[in-house]
Structure 1
């Protein structure tokens, strides 16, 4: 799990740095030299898609996704734990469906050979961020759910970093 954690964080940091540097250079080119490469916007958009899906997995690992915890403030610890496990199970179901359909999308775009207009890279590389992010999220939820059941981890409505310890 430590290797996955490290890869996720390095990937996100690298994508953020690349997007920031490229956008900064593009601003200088646009306003200083009236040049605006068409591929910059496209690349940054695809980087942000990857950051979103991989970053979502990181949020599942850390337990920092936003949640409505108003009801949880009125329940005891056992009920809160049960509600959180139910939310984890529903989220696992949703992520499983999303993984299935996003994998299907990757296969379709691979078979079609569709390319990104400005960058000319195959679209399936871009769409791979979705199933990879959902699979990582599923892994983190599978690790976290038994820990919440056993009472070893904090639950939603309390402190973040619940799943970071593993």
Structure 2
């Protein structure tokens, strides 16, 4: 079971890294080209702002899934840190499955929103591109984050350690001098 989870985790990690890196580089190139166009030629790229908005959506939702994978999501730990191992394990396990179910539900609802955008054939103003294609990243990102929480839930059921994600164990060092 752990090998299956590891394989699923690695594949989705590569997809997340590619999408986030590609989007950030494209935002940088697009913004630079737009600024140079305005400065040197007095003309902006007419779709630059719209493209950046679409890319920010992908960085936000896929980046969220990536942050969950790396155990870098926001956690409220004021009370949690004062509890014993067993209590922290129960809380982490419960949070993992609850959050996974919530994210899968949100992905389900977002899917229907994207389907509605497709049905009404909504186009972006500048590019006149179907927005459902761009916004389809929202249910994908939510589902990928949900998958990471589900993997964390399973890892917490199978192991004694407290798993914040597949690879991140609470209290283990990150190699950067800090502990998680």
Distance 1:26 1:144 in 2: 42
C-alpha distance in structure 2 between counterparts of 1:148 and 1:87, whole Å = 11
Runs of 4+ aligned structure 1 residues displaced above 4 Å come to: none
Q: Counterparts of 1:26 and 1:159 in 2: how far apart (Å)?
A: 44
Shift of 1:160: 7.3
Aligned twin of 1:164: none
- What whole-Å deviation, never above 9, does each CA across 1:66-124 have from its counterpart, x for those lacking one? 21111122100111111111211221232122112101111111111111111111011
Q: 1:19 to 1:160 in 2, by over 3 A?
A: farther
TM-score norm. by structure 1 comes to 0.88
Q: Mind listing any 5+ residue stretches in structure 1 that lack a counterpart? A: 162-166
Please state how far the C-alpha of 1:158 moved relative to its aligned partner.
3.8
TM-score by length of 2: 0.82
- 1:135 and 2:143 are equivalent in the alignment: yes
- Per the alignment, residue 151 of structure 1 pairs with 160
Residue 117 of structure 1 corresponds to 125
Partner of 1:105: 113
Structure 1 residue 129: Cα displacement: 0.7
Does 2:28 align with 1:20?
A: yes
**Greater share of helix:** 1
Aligned length: 161
Secondary structure (helix, strand or coil) at the match of 1:38 reads coil
CA contact (8 A) 1:67 1:157 kept: no
Range with bigger deviation, 95-104 or 141-150: 141-150
Are the structure 2 counterparts of residues 160 and 97 from structure 1 closer, same or farther at C-alpha, using a change threshold of 3 Å? farther
Q: Comparing 10-19 with 83-92, which one deviates more in the overlay?
A: 83-92
Q: Could you say what the CA RMSD is over the residues aligned between the two structures, in angstroms?
A: 1.8
User: Relative contact order (alpha carbons < 8 A, sep ≥ 6): 1 or 2 greater?
Assistant: 1
Given that 1:57 and 1:134 are in contact with CA atoms closer than 8 Å, whether structure 2 keeps it comes out as yes
| Unpaired segments ≥5 residues, structure 2 | 1-7, 175-180
- 1:93 maps to 2:101: yes
When structure 1 is superposed on structure 2, of 121-130 and 83-92 the one drifting more is 83-92
Q: 2:53 corresponds to which residue?
A: 45
